[in-house]
Amino acid sequence: MAGRGKTLGSGASKKATSRSSKAGLQFPVGRIARFLKAGKYAERVGAGAPVYLAAVLEYLAAEVLELAGNAARDNKKTRIVPRHIQLAVRNDEELSKLLGDVTIANGGVMPNIHNLLLPKKTGSSKSAADDET
């Protein structure tokens, strides 16, 4: 009587699958696990911790890249440059809070003109002419 997962007489071993592919992720779970162990953040690292961290990092990267791609498309560019990442992060409330103290190299500054420096709006040209006389 054969076991459920085994077939009789099969000598071929199964191809190894990465933990990233098992979790359906693009980010490397094994490398993140290695960094967590080498970093001495804790004495031991659970099996699910690197998978969860890889998923969080992948989500954040996808979110930033999507917003930066939108910023590049708004500027009629096909390549994402640091300026687009800066605009994407600073225009998003949650990402701006998360990365508030982060300086993005070659990102520039956010365009902002103080309200006092903007030209004053006048009602109509006729009323402005009456005020002068």
- CATH number where 84 lies: 1.10.20.10
pLDDT of residue 8 exceeding 90, the answer is no
Q: Is residue 130 in some structural domain?
A: no
Domain annotation covers residue 82: yes
Tell me which residue of 17, 61, 52 sits closest to 33, measured CA to CA: 52
Residue 68 CB neighbour total at 10 angstroms: 20
pLDDT value, residue 105: 97
Mean pLDDT of 115-130: 75
Domain count, the chain: 1
What percent of the chain clears pLDDT 70, i.e. is strictly above it?
Answer: 83
Encoding tokens for residue 113? 């003109």
Q: What is the pLDDT of residues 20-62, one digit of tens each?
A: 999 999 999 999 999 999 999 999 999 999 999 999 999 999 9
Examine residue 121 and state whether it is found in any structural domain, yes or no.
no
Does residue 46 sit within a domain? Answer: yes
Tokens of 128: 């402005």
Q: Is residue 91 part of a domain?
A: yes
State if pTM tops 0.85.
no
Structural domain contains residue 48: yes
What is residue 122's predicted lDDT score, i.e. its pLDDT?
A: 84
Q: Give the separation between CA 85 and CA 106, rounded to whole angstroms.
A: 10
Domain extent at residue 40: 20-112
pLDDT of residue 24: 97
Q: What is the DSSP secondary-structure string of the chain?
A: ---SS--TT--PPPPP--HHHHHT-SS-HHHHHHHHHHTTSSS---SSHHHHHHHHHHHHHHHHHHHHHHHHHHTT-SS--HHHHHHHHHHSHHHHHHTTTPPPTT--------GGGSPPP-S-HHHHHHHH-
